[in-house]
Amino acid sequence: MKTIAASAPGKIIIAGEHAVVYGYPALLAATNKRLSLELSVSGKLPSLSSLKAHNLAHLVKLVKKLPQVDKLKIHSDIPAGSGMGSSAALSVCLAAAWLKATHDQPSQEEINELAYQLEKLQHGTPSGGDNTVSCYGGLLWFRKEIPAVKVFKRLADIPEIKNLYLLDTGKPAESTGEMVAQVADQKKAQPKKIVNAFLGMEAVARGWLELVTTNNQSQVEKLIKDNHSYLMDIGVVSASTQELIQHIERTGGAAKITGAGGKSNHSGMLLVWHPNSKKIKNLSLSKLLLSQKGLILNR
């Protein structure tokens, strides 16, 4: 019997969510929240694609039923369905453990590619950014040219960005796939408006790139505020989340969603910047660490 343990981080998208699905760049960071998985198997495993699952939860169920699988245990402190890449971390861990059980020395590239296939099972047409940052860790500049060609650069030694927090607005009613589909519909209905917002998000992402490479942090507030207003333009922020963000802005801070967002009620996790967090002490902020370790795989 082989037992394999894998753990991978959740992520936040600092800039470029949704636009990244259409080939614009995004800046993503691995966070200090992680998912871990333990897989014990004996015998030859089938490929995960041959199991014909409808989504990740179904795949996990099917894997647990296989006679070759003695144990599959998953533990996560990444809030599920809240824009922090919980499904990407699960995809990376499952892909890594499965490939390791099958042929012992999978490359990070193979693991990331299989994780992308699992993300497609979950979300339809993901950019691949979430699984890539979860697999490689750190801070990642990512661009999907076409589904088969994704380019990324892991940025080394980034400075600590001060005054950043996470704030949970609650789990959105919509899934990531549904939010991506809503934006696609909007883009069909109002192509100019949506493309302009994507171009604005690209400028924000490039602003962040400048910021992290020069450590000039004076623009953080403006970049987050601009990004939030483009996210409003593409319709991925709920009315209650917009009220909360306006409250944060009125007290001298800035905030934006960190993933797909949510429209009807909650919008998942927010990235909050505030130079004086005492002014929003009524909100339960948690400390955010960026640029954390990617996949850890042992046997």
Residue among 5 and 21 whose Cβ is closer to ligand MEV = 21
Site of interaction with ligand MEV (CB under 6 A): 13, 17-18, 20-21, 83, 126-127, 129-130, 176, 180, 259-260
Paired tokens of 205: 């992402």
Residue among 93 and 260 whose Cβ is closer to ligand MEV = 260
Strand arrangement, sheet containing 254-257: 254-257, 269-273, 164-168, 286-287
| CB 250, min distance to ligand MEV, A | 27
Cα distances (angstroms) measured from residue 52 to each of 35, 43, 120: 24, 20, 13
| CB 119, min distance to ligand MEV, A | 7
Residue among 4 and 94 whose Cβ is closer to ligand MEV = 94
Residue among 18 and 100 whose Cβ is closer to ligand MEV = 18
Residue among 260 and 283 whose Cβ is closer to ligand MEV = 260
Q: What are phi and psi of 9, to 5 degrees?
A: -85, 160
| CB 183, min distance to ligand MEV, A | 8
Residue among 4 and 183 whose Cβ is closer to ligand MEV = 183
| CB 19, min distance to ligand MEV, A | 7
| CB 5, min distance to ligand MEV, A | 25
Paired tokens of 109: 């590239």
Can you point out the beta strands (E) in 253-293? 254-257, 269-273, 286-287
| CB 26, min distance to ligand MEV, A | 7
| CB 21, min distance to ligand MEV, A | 5
Paired tokens of 215: 């450590």
Question: How far is Cα 38 from Cα 98, in angstroms, rounded to an integer?
Answer: 11
Paired tokens of 296: 């850890």
Question: How far is Cα 6 from Cα 266, in angstroms, rounded to an integer?
Answer: 31
Question: How far is Cα 143 from Cα 28, in angstroms, rounded to an integer?
Answer: 11
Question: How far is Cα 270 from Cα 238, in angstroms, rounded to an integer?
Answer: 12
Paired tokens of 214: 């020069």
Residue among 150 and 274 whose Cβ is closer to ligand MEV = 150
The dihedral over CA atoms of 101, 144, 154, 272, expressed in degrees to the nearest 10, equals -110
| CB 281, min distance to ligand MEV, A | 29
Question: How far is Cα 54 from Cα 52, in angstroms, rounded to an integer?
Answer: 7
Residue among 4 and 223 whose Cβ is closer to ligand MEV = 223
Return the closest-CA partner of residue 12 out of 74, 93, 89, 76.
Answer: 89
